[in-house]
Amino acid sequence: MNDQFLKACRMQETDYTPVWIMRQAGRYLQEYRDIQKTADFLTVCKTPDLTVDVTLQPVRILDVDAAILFSDILTPVEKMGMKLQFIKGKGPVLDPPVTSMQAVERLGVPDPEDDLPFVLESIRILRGELEGKVPLIGFCGAPFTLACYMIEGETSKDYSGAKRLMFQAPHIFTALMEKITETISVYADAQIRAGVQAVQFFDTWAGLLSRKDYSRYALPYIKKAISYVKKKHPKVPVIYYINGSATILDLMQKAGSTVIGLDWRHDLDTAWQQLGNKVAVQGNLDPCTLFLPQDELKKRVRDILKKAGGQPGHIFNLGHGILPATPRENAIALVEMVHKMSRKKGA
């Protein structure tokens, strides 16, 4: 099997820099859009045959060094007891928004085997399909980011409604965070037991918090979830990603992940240095640069590889999810560039 990704997570020497792309199974691929013509997003998430198909597409088309389970961070939230819909042009809608202690108390902690069997089945099938190819990554939303969606009920530019509840009614907010933490802890554990070989926690919106508030309202919960997973599966790499982590990078590191996912605003060398080079890093090309002509894109890729300096422990990725309008050929070229430019002589 191609174990370059897992080796990089563990900061071991690799033959070249492994690369995968956040949201690599997505609308920028015609093959994905073809499947979406016959089944909507949630149906694809809940039908193992379709989940497997779209998960494998980028492995085949892009030659990435890892597959990531096709799913959504809100899948377990639906099973906590919220009504989940994806509305065209609007995105996810969770109904009704959680704003009271009673609403928090009504939420359950889903049992993955009973409530999310389609996820675990997809993972089992995928491991079979991927045997001898590349590792499979599982994922969850991190507590703060899930709480943002659950309180707002939809996407928001600043999640000020969620932060308002956090400030006005911290007992409700923290009760919700506890319940989410329990949910994602057992969910990540179940994904690993079903076969994923690494797990990524997406904390997309935690970058909206000041240092004080991240320390108080986000860090303790994600740290608890990561500890839970690491205790049960000490050898399984955990990746922790925040969008806009510049002012909280040192705090983020305290969550204890194996790999830190960096957004594109960081200079990778500066950020890695700030982390004391003690942890692997993943990132961090601006997804919008995939619109550049390929000769310009190549310079950007080279720049990031140069900043990583060939040190063990760099996984190439975008700094945020790939955009639906991305030219497919540039995504393919990106993976090829990373492989070619980073290959060690003689390897």
Binding residues for a copy of itself, per CB under 8 A?
Answer: 155, 157-158, 160, 163-164, 166-168, 207-213, 244, 246-248, 264-267, 286-289, 291-292, 296, 303, 320, 323, 325
Choose between 211 and 278: whose C-beta lies nearer to a copy of itself: 211
Q: Provide the token pair at 36.
A: 């979406």
Least distance between a copy of itself and beta carbon 259 (Å): 20
Question: How far, in Å, CA of 280 to CA of 257, rounded?
Answer: 9
Cα 69 to Cα 66, 135, 187: the distances in Å are: 10, 10, 13
Residues in the chain: 347
Find the shortest distance in angstroms from Cβ 292 to a copy of itself: 5
* Tokens coding 186: 């057992």
Q: In angstroms, give the least distance from the CB of 22 to a copy of itself.
A: 13
258: Cβ–Cβ under 8 A, 6 or more apart, which residues? 9, 10, 237, 238, 239, 279, 280
Query: Dihedral through CA 1, CA 138, CA 306, CA 254, nearest 10?
Result: -130
CB nearer to a copy of itself: pick between 147 and 209: 209
Q: How far is the CB of 159 from a copy of itself (least distance, A)?
A: 9
Q: Residue 147 carries which side chain, given as an amino acid letter? A: A
**Closest distance between a copy of itself and the C-beta of residue 347, in Å?**
29
Q: Strand 136-141 to strand 198-202: parallel, antiparallel, or no bridges (unpaired)?
A: parallel
Instruction: Using CA atoms of 165, 171, 172, 178 in order, give the dihedral in degrees to the nearest 10.
Output: 120
In the bound state with a copy of itself, the residue whose beta carbon lies nearer, of 187 and 214, is: 214
**Shortest reach from residue 33's CB to a copy of itself, in Å:** 18
Which is closer to a copy of itself, CB of 85 or CB of 274? 274
Which H or E element spans position 138?
A: strand 136-141
